[in-house]
Amino acid sequence: MNSPVRVVTCLLYAFITFCGVNAEGDDFKPIPPKAGSWVGPTTGEVWPNPQIRFRQNSFFVLQVDQFEFKLNNAAASSDIVNESVVRFKDRMFPGQAQRAREARQTRFRFQPPLNGRESTEFSYNVGQLDTIHVILESACGNCEKYPYMGMNETYEIVLNPDSSEEQFVVSSSVWGLLRGLESISQMVYISPENNYSYQINVTRVIDFPRFPHRGFMLDTARHYLSMNTILQTLDLMEMNKLNVLHWHIVDTESFPYQSTTFPDLSAKGAYDPYTHVYSQEDVRLIIESARVRGIRVMVEFDTPGHTQSWEKGQPGLLTECYDPTTERPNGRYGPMDPTKNEVFEFLTELYQEISEVFPEEYIHIGGDEVSTNCWRSNPFVNDFMNQWNITGDYKRLESYFIETLLVIVDKLPRNNIPVVWQEVFDNGDNISPETVVQVWKNWGIGWRNRMQAITTAGQPAILSAPYYLNYIKYGSDWTCIWAEFVNSINLIPRAWPRASAVAERLWSSRDTRNISEASSRLQEHECRMLGRGYPVSPVVGAGFCSVKWN
C-alpha cells in the first residue's frame, strides 16, 4: 500500500437515510415569491460535473434514425462496449421525450472558448451529427472482464465541427468509455426554440473521478427488494457514475440469499422462501448487469451480530441467552457463539461459497453493533473466557470472533480482502494492513477524528458517516427513516436524485461547491432521469419536467 489514505473513499447508503432539502423550500424558494419554477434547469449539462469542460453555444443537430456510435477495432472486441452503445443511444433519445424533427440549417462559426469558459457567441447550428467515434486505446478490448478497485475511468470527449473525424469519445479502458458514453448521453437535449430538435453542443471534456470507490448500499433484508428495483438502481448508479453496489444482503430480519451449501438458511430464514429470495440465477443477473455498467458488487454477510434469521435454518449458530434467576435458557438468542468450533466450520463453508459466487475481491464481514448481553448470561461462554484468560472482557471475545473469521477469509482463493465496520478498529482487533475499515458512526466532527485515527494507523477506509440519506429535513428538525420503511415502492423516489448530490461530491473536483449552479443542473438531471423512465422525486422545490409520465 503506497499510502494509508489511498482508499479513503465515500459510501452512500440507500437503506439507512435519505437526506432531502427543507420541506419549506428555504434553500431554493425565490424571495420575494414569483410565478414559475423555483429553479430553472440547464440544458445539456453533465452530472456529475466533469473535471474539465469547454462548451460553446454552437450546436450539432441529431436525427434519431441516422445517428450511430462507430467503434474502433479494440472497442468492437469488447462485449461490454458493444452492449453499452445500444443502452446509451436509448438514453440519448428516451421514449418519454418528443421525437426530434429536422432542424433548419443555419450558418456556422466555430471559435475556441476562452479560459475554459462557455463562449459568449450566439447559438449556431454547425450541422448534423451522424457519428461519434468510440475509441478504446488498448490492445485488448476484453482484457478487463470485471470492474475492480482503482480501475481507470478517465475519458475524453471531443465534438469539433472542423472535421468528421473529430467527434469522438476516447479512453484507455472500457470503464472510461462507459463513463464517457454516459456523459455524451446527458449532453443531448431537446430544443423547443429549434423546432424540438435533438441537439448537442460543440464541446470538449476531460474527466476522471475524484475517488476510486463511490458506493451505494442496498439493504435487502429489512425489506425484500424486487429484482426490477435492484436493476433500476444499477441503471441509476451508472447514470450518476457510482461504481460500487454494497449489497447488505441478509440481516436479523430475513435471510433472502439462496445458498447452495446451506439451502435451509433461506428456506427457513427468508420472509417467504418462494417469493422473497434471491436465487443463484438472480445473483448472477445482478452481478452481470453491474459488470457491464462498470459497477462492482461488494456483498456483506454481517457477523457475529445481525444474525437472528440465520438461526432458523442453521440451529446452534447463535448464543443462547440465560435467565439470571433460573440460570436456564430463556428462549432468546444473541450473537453467534464464538465458543463453538462448529460455528467457524460453518462460516468456512459459507464463505467458500460466497467467494465462488461473487467475483469482487472485497468482501464485507460486518462486525458492528454486537450486543454482549447473551454472552454475559451464558455460563458456557463465561467458562470459555476463563479458559482463555479473558474473564469479563467481552470486547476481547468479540475480537476473538472477528480475528478468527478474518483468518478464514484470508485463506479464500479469492474475495480475500475484508471490509469491516469501524467497531472492529475501535475495539483494537488485530487486523491486516489491507483490511478496509468503514466509518459509519461519530456524526459531526467525530467522523473526521475517526478517519484520521484509522488512516494514521495505516488502514484503508471507507467513509459513510456524513452521507446517510434517511434524514429528511423538516424545518429545523430531522426525522430518521430506517430500512423498515423502505421497500421496492419508495426506494427510488426517496434515494434519487438525493443520491445524485453525493455522487457529484465523490466524482467531481472538490472545488465543485456552487449550490446555486448545482441546483439548476440537478433540476435538469432530475427531469432527465424521469424522462428515462425512473420515478425520481423533486428536490429543488416547485417546478415541472417536460415529460409525459403515466
* CATH number of residue 99's parent domain: 3.30.379.10
Residue 143 pLDDT: 87
Same domain for 409 and 472:
yes
Residue 47 resides in a domain? no
Domain's final residue, options 207, 238, 262: 207
Q: Is 232 in the same domain as 278?
A: yes
Query: What is the pLDDT at residue 22?
Result: 34
Q: Is 536 among the domain residues?
A: no
Same domain, 171 and 312: no
Number of domains in the chain: 2
Please name the amino acid found at residue 430: N
**Could you say which of 207, 227, 244 is where a domain stops?**
207
Residue 91 CA neighbour count, 13 Å, CB half: 23
Residue 282 in 3-state DSSP?
A: helix
End-to-end, the C-alpha distance of the chain in Å comes to 52
| Chosen domain end from 183, 207, 231 | 207
Q: Which three cell numbers, joined as nine digits, stand for 233?
A: 438502481
* Residues ≥6 apart with Cβ < 8 Å to 274: none
CATH at 225: 3.20.20.80
Indicate whether 253 and 286 sit together in one domain. yes
160 and 139 belong to one structural domain: yes
Helix (H, G, I), strand (E, B) or coil at 296: strand
Looking at the domain assignment, is residue 511 inside a domain? no
* Kind of pairing between the strands at 296-303 and 244-248: parallel
Instruction: Check whether residue 102 and residue 198 sit in a common domain.
Output: yes
Q: Are residues 236 and 202 in the same domain?
A: no
pLDDT of residue 441: 84
| R_g over Cα of the chain | 26
pLDDT for the residue 110: 36
Res 467: pLDDT: 67
177 within domain boundaries = yes
- Distance (Å, rounded) from C-alpha 93 to C-alpha 501? 24
- Domain membership of residue 525 (yes or no) is no
193 and 232: one domain?
A: no
Does residue 233 share a domain with residue 148?
no
- Considering the domain architecture, whether residues 218 and 201 belong to the same structural domain is answered as no
The answer to whether 98 touches 531, Cβ cutoff 8 Å, is no
Q: Fill in the amino acid letter for 247.
A: W
Q: Do 196 and 261 reside in the same domain of the chain?
A: no
Q: Does any domain span residue 242?
A: yes
pLDDT at 102: 35
- Residues noted as catalytic: 369
d(CA 404, CA 336) in angstroms, rounded, equals 13
Q: What is the DSSP string of 437-495?
A: EEE---TTTHHHHHHHHHHHTT--EEE-GGGB--EEEETTEEEE--GGG--TTTHHHHH
Q: Please give the Cα distance from 473 to 105 (Å, whole number).
A: 49
- Lookup: cell for 414: 479469492
Q: Quick check: is 13 in a domain?
A: no
539 occurs within a structural domain:
no
Q: Which long-range contacts (CB under 8 A, 24 or more apart) does 371-375 make?
A: 371/305, 371/334, 371/335, 372/334, 372/335, 372/397, 372/398, 373/321, 373/334, 374/318, 374/319, 374/320, 374/321, 374/322, 374/332, 374/333, 374/334, 374/335, 375/319, 375/334, 375/335
Q: Do 369 and 306 meet the contact criterion of CB atoms below 8 Å apart?
A: yes
Task: Judge if 453 and 485 occupy the same domain.
Answer: yes
Question: DSSP letters along 72-94, please?
Answer: -HHHHT-HHHHHHHHHHHHHHS-
Mean pLDDT by 10 residues, the chain (550 residues): 35 31 54 87 97 95 94 96 96 64 33 36 83 93 90 97 87 98 97 85 97 94 96 97 96 98 98 98 98 97 98 97 94 97 98 97 96 97 97 96 97 90 95 94 80 93 74 32 72 92 94 92 96 92 83
Domain boundaries, position 142: 52-207
